[in-house]
Structure 1
Amino acid sequence: MFMEQKKMVPPDGGWGWMVVLGVSLVNLCTRSIEQSFGLLFGDLLDEMGVKTTGSAMIMSALDALINFSGLLVGPLIRAFSYRKVSLAGAFLCSLGLITTFPANNMGHILITYSIINGLGVGLASSATFVALNNYFVKKRGQAVGLSLAGTAFGMMVMPQAVKLLLDAYSFRGAILVLGAFALNGVVGSCLLQPANWHYVEEQKEVEDGAPHKEMETIKETDDEEGDIFEDQKLLSPKLNSEVLVIETLEDLGKQSTLMRKGTFPRNFSTLSFVGTRKRKVSMESVMSSYSRLDFTGSSLQLHLETNHLPVDKPPEGALRRNMSYPGVQPKRRRVIVPSPALEMKPPKKNNLWQKIVEFMDFDLLKDPIYLNLVFGLSMFYVAEQNFKMVTPFFFKSIGYDKQDVATFLSVQAATDILARLILPPICDRLTISKRTLFMTGIFVLGICRSVLAMQTEKKWILVWLMVCGFFRGSALINFAICISEYSTLEKLPAAFGLHNVGKGLFVVALGPVLGIIRDSTESFPMCLHSQTFLIMLCCAAWSLEYSIRYLKSRKKENEPPPVS
């Protein structure tokens, strides 16, 4: 008896929650400093005479390295593992921050903070996201939301910590302490064990009674006549010494004249009969119809010539599947159908570019839906990164000191964390796609940020920051899942990596433009409104795609069925 091999699947829990803890720790140590960039580097950049455009260039270069590292993520994870890639990323992030402490010009900051630190953050964040998707399927939203809570918690605590460090040690001492803190990301990376160490057996519900054996002998009786599938006969030529040449299936059907007779034991694969008693005859191809034939234990041979086979109707002698007749052995009867010789063509060799495309999974770039997905996510990402950089300068421009700025950033991060803790279990139970939930969240977020740009009173700034923080958290819990929801697990590292590259390209192209808008208009509110415009471009592009797909589906439904 053949034993069915158990399918192993991700645990959706178990050690996966330790992985969530590890990813959260990596995010806390490597990404929480980003929102405090203006607070940490503000005085140093003022001493250097660097304006908003220069700050935008530093942040754009940082984001570019974070995202362009996506080109390396897929091959590196395939060659090593997501744990080793995350370890390397956490170490590079710490190295970049530590080597920034003697900086006295913009070029030094670009090399150490933007390039080395950015490369480390990109490798660590991509590797940890792939790790989560290998451990979770049904609870993926909860896992990603909890892991991102580490980043949000860091964004809430980090502004206060940066202010205290600046007061105690100035910029150079503060950046050294932050670099040492980032090294704790190595500890979180150590928790990212290979997922196949913790796979569990897939649980299947058995609906129709006891499980069936792989093979069992069924005695045929007269009562079995009712079990014959519709429009099917047995193939059994007369047993004599003639040689019959069959050229078409019609000839083959004419020879199928032996009536079924009881008393012969037959072996059936009962797996074919689990679930229903009747089955449609597939006519997708002639060979698929004849794949049902099993002549185990018989000397009967068929050679089919496909160019004589009808494809518009089932053959007269349709065959029953998985049967053998040990009691009937044709002795001198042979059935021969002439068939042409098979021509074996040598496989085509891929050139260098085709090998690169296959290795890097560049075929994803042929998918218009994937490209539109990357476009929308990139638009939001540019707006989000620019908002984190500009807001400290905006609050400073309307008369608030470092303590107030730190309080504002912490309040926004607090509601961000609240959304990441509350919403993921709810979103996982909804039938709405994560992409639609993300688009709804950023639409409201863009409007709220434009309203925030018009506020000057402290109480209203705090109110709108709390609202913005909540909707920011609701959007970011679904940001990366939009990619994993669309991609298969095998393509996920490449899909996420190319998505990061797309974000990097848009950051390089549009990040400085937002800085130029601010410097030319000398208006921070105008810069914030420009970020909202980018968010609305994402919503418009995705809404257009949804409309096109909806119209195509309606058109397909209204098409008359083909006449048979």
Structure 2
Amino acid sequence: MFMENKKLVPPDGGWGWIVVMGVSAVNLCTRSIEQSFGLLFGDLLKDLGVETTGAAVIMSTLDALINFSGLFTGPLIRAFSYRKVSLAGSLLVAIGLILTSWANSMAHIIATYSIINGLGVGLTASATFVALNNYFLKRRGQAIGFSLAGTAFGMMLMPQAVRLLLDEFGFRGAIFLLGGFALNSLVGSVLLQPAKWHYVSEEKCLEDGDYKQEMETIKEDGEDEDTEQAEVNKLISNHLVIKTFEELKAGALTRKSTFPRNFSTMSFMGNRVGRRRTSKESIMSSYSRLDFTGSSIQLAIDTPESLAQEAPNSNNPSRLRRNMSYPGVQFSPQNKVLKELQMEHEKFKEQQKTPWQKIVKFMDFDLLKDPIYLNLVFGLSVFYVAEQNFKMVMPFFFKSIGYDKQDIALFLSVQAFTDILARLILPPICDRLDVSKRTLFMTGIFFLGLCRSILAQQTAYVWILVWLVIAGFIRGAALINFAITISEYATLEKLPAAFGLHNVGKGLFVVTLGPVLGKIRDATQSYPFCLHSQTVLIMTCVMAWLIEYLIEYCRTRTAESEKSDTDTMNT
């Protein structure tokens, strides 16, 4: 008779889909305004006399705060929870937008919109991403894709909403109402319940051999030592004193048990040589207070007589016959002492660490020693700078070739609509492909860069719409795999820190390269040239990752060749 091994795992659905809806609502209320920045702030920046350079500084500062917040979102999420962090971030976004309605200078806009709002967006972005990764394993791509659809849906509707609000209430009234709209993200954050509340039991397939016997026999020597030692620690936790056999006999130890023994059929097979071992003196102990039948363990302690009957090569000092209530363990005082010494040594090493070493461990800075992770962050950061600059410059580009606010709002909505289609259609397909998410992302951004360079050369209304449709769909196809490239590489334990440090990397690149792209536009007085420079950044990401792939391929071939040569020599 067999029972399946079960453990608690993320539901990959269930309440997880409610969490997807919550994350989508948070994204809709906090991030959908970003693409409409030029449309919303354009007139104010023109009145302040800063135009493109001022917009670049504001957006670069915003992105820096969004990303530098990742430096402490990991520790915050571990100290509190992703739901509390998301609630705090949602509140900051609303406050920042509302306070921006009184802005009459660059410094005011930077303080409220870039810093306060940016910090809130950074907190919500990290918290919602960690929440999704805690709820989904196999359907992670679908979950993240559907949640990002909220952002794309907002980007489709927000340009039209911003245009209507500006016409009706002006800049100050429009951004004040948008701040009130951001308060709805609190509702989405409340839905991010701890994933452990909804874990389900995993059922293993018996055909894979992942099962256990209902009544198992003694463990063979040397098997599952860590598990057995852990069980020993549980058994001796109630001040059980280890004594010798002579001491136990002196204390009126009897061999007769109060409860019947339970054996599996395998217990009569004996040890490895195929014979049953000679019966030994045993101790009967009942430990379970909940099992009223008297769940028991039987400790078979070696005596001089029994040791003489053992095989000469046997070095096991003590054995245990197990019944159906407790698994078999090796009851070895020596192992317990060694375990305690090891724990004391670990505590001593922890006390000897310098403050900086403790910070490195707490913040998981050891990730920065991984060259693959660093290259991954580099590529994502370079693409992010290009993407953010494109969203900022695009409204100005359309305005420079003679289109009004209504046309610009339509262009932005069309691109966002095809972006949504890609995020809804492609995630289930991508999850079934035997290709890494990083490779899919790299392929997507390669074609996205080409499409945007072609779009930069268009002036006709119809052709602009055609290339916006294509570029929007490819953008959605690429961005559904943007964040997953991090979770695909990092473990769930390291994920908050990996995602936070990735955000810090993006922030550094935004601060460094963002204003440079603005200066390029102002120096050349050409928006198409600025869009082409964004494509160069995208291709830089592609080249960096291709070089890494090539190096890994060469290393793999070399290792396989050396292994083949070794096998040939051995034969």
Aligned AA (1:54): G
Aligned ranges for residues 102-113 of structure 1 at < 5 Å? Answer: 102-113=102-113
Q: Is it true that 1:361 corresponds to 2:364 in the alignment?
A: yes
Q: Deviations over 1:67-110 (max 9, x none)?
A: 00001111110111000000000000000000001111111000
Q: Deviations over 1:351-377 (max 9, x none)?
A: 100010011000000000000000000
Give the match for residue 453 of structure 2.
Answer: 450
TM-score when scaled to structure 2? 0.78
* In 1, Cα distance between equivalents of 2:508 and 2:531: 21
Aligned ranges for residues 84-163 of structure 1 at < 5 Å? Answer: 84-163=84-163
* In 2, Cα distance between equivalents of 1:133 and 1:208: 27
Q: 1:259 to 1:123 in 2, by over 3 A?
A: closer
Cα offset for 1:561? 2.0
Give the match for residue 525 of structure 1.
Answer: 528
Q: Is it true that 1:428 corresponds to 2:398 in the alignment?
A: no
Cα offset for 1:18? 0.3
Give the match for residue 400 of structure 1.
Answer: 403
Cα offset for 1:483? 0.2
Give the match for residue 539 of structure 2.
Answer: 536
Report if aligned partners of 2:5, 2:212 keep a CA contact under 8 Å in 1.
no
- What secondary structure, in the 3-state scheme, does the structure 2 residue paired with 1:207 have? helix
Cα offset for 1:324? 6.8
Give the match for residue 276 of structure 1.
Answer: none
Cα offset for 1:54? 1.2
Instruction: Please give the root-mean-square deviation of Cα atoms over the aligned residues, in Å.
Output: 3.1
- What secondary structure, in the 3-state scheme, does the structure 2 residue paired with 1:201 have? strand
Q: 1:263 to 1:196 in 2, by over 3 A?
A: closer
Give the match for residue 510 of structure 1.
Answer: 513
Aligned AA (1:297): I
Q: Deviations over 1:182-232 (max 9, x none)?
A: 0100000000000000000011111179954354469xxxxxxxxxxxxxx
Q: Deviations over 1:159-183 (max 9, x none)?
A: 0000000000000000001000001
Structure 2: tracts of 5 or more residues without a match: 219-270, 281-298, 306-311, 323-336
Report if aligned partners of 2:386, 2:537 keep a CA contact under 8 Å in 1.
yes
Aligned AA (1:519): D
> How many residues were matched structurally?
474
Cα offset for 1:259? 12
Report if aligned partners of 1:266, 1:323 keep a CA contact under 8 Å in 2.
no
Give the match for residue 189 of structure 1.
Answer: 189
Q: Deviations over 1:421-479 (max 9, x none)?
A: 00000000001000000000000000000000000000000000011100100011000
Give the match for residue 376 of structure 1.
Answer: 379
- What secondary structure, in the 3-state scheme, does the structure 2 residue paired with 1:7 have? strand
Report if aligned partners of 1:266, 1:324 keep a CA contact under 8 Å in 2.
no
Give the match for residue 333 of structure 1.
Answer: none
Q: Give identity over the alignment, percent.
A: 71
- What secondary structure, in the 3-state scheme, does the structure 1 residue paired with 2:100 have? coil
Q: 1:214 to 1:350 in 2, by over 3 A?
A: farther
Give the match for residue 478 of structure 2.
Answer: 475
Q: Is it true that 1:11 corresponds to 2:27 in the alignment?
A: no
Report if aligned partners of 1:217, 1:266 keep a CA contact under 8 Å in 2.
no
Aligned AA (2:492): L
* In 2, Cα distance between equivalents of 1:27 and 1:259: 62
Cα offset for 1:297? 3.0
- What secondary structure, in the 3-state scheme, does the structure 2 residue paired with 1:456 have? coil
* In 2, Cα distance between equivalents of 1:548 and 1:485: 20
Query: More helix by proportion, 1 or 2?
Result: 2
Cα offset for 1:298? 1.6
TM-score when scaled to structure 1? 0.79
Q: 1:171 to 1:520 in 2, by over 3 A?
A: same
Aligned ranges for residues 223-242 of structure 1 at < 5 Å? Answer: none
- What secondary structure, in the 3-state scheme, does the structure 2 residue paired with 1:202 have? strand
Give the match for residue 64 of structure 1.
Answer: 64
* In 2, Cα distance between equivalents of 1:189 and 1:325: 53
Q: 1:264 to 1:463 in 2, by over 3 A?
A: same
Report if aligned partners of 1:98, 1:180 keep a CA contact under 8 Å in 2.
yes
- What secondary structure, in the 3-state scheme, does the structure 1 residue paired with 2:22 have? helix
Structure 1: tracts of 5 or more residues without a match: 219-257, 268-294, 302-315, 327-340
* In 2, Cα distance between equivalents of 1:11 and 1:425: 17
* In 2, Cα distance between equivalents of 1:368 and 1:79: 28
Report if aligned partners of 1:217, 1:265 keep a CA contact under 8 Å in 2.
no
Report if aligned partners of 1:101, 1:171 keep a CA contact under 8 Å in 2.
yes
Q: Is it true that 1:545 corresponds to 2:532 in the alignment?
A: no
* In 2, Cα distance between equivalents of 1:125 and 1:3: 42
Cα offset for 1:265? 7.1
* In 1, Cα distance between equivalents of 2:88 and 2:524: 42
Q: Deviations over 1:285-319 (max 9, x none)?
A: xxxxxxxxxx9532479xxxxxxxxxxxxxx9488
* In 2, Cα distance between equivalents of 1:107 and 1:499: 28
Give the match for residue 251 of structure 2.
Answer: none
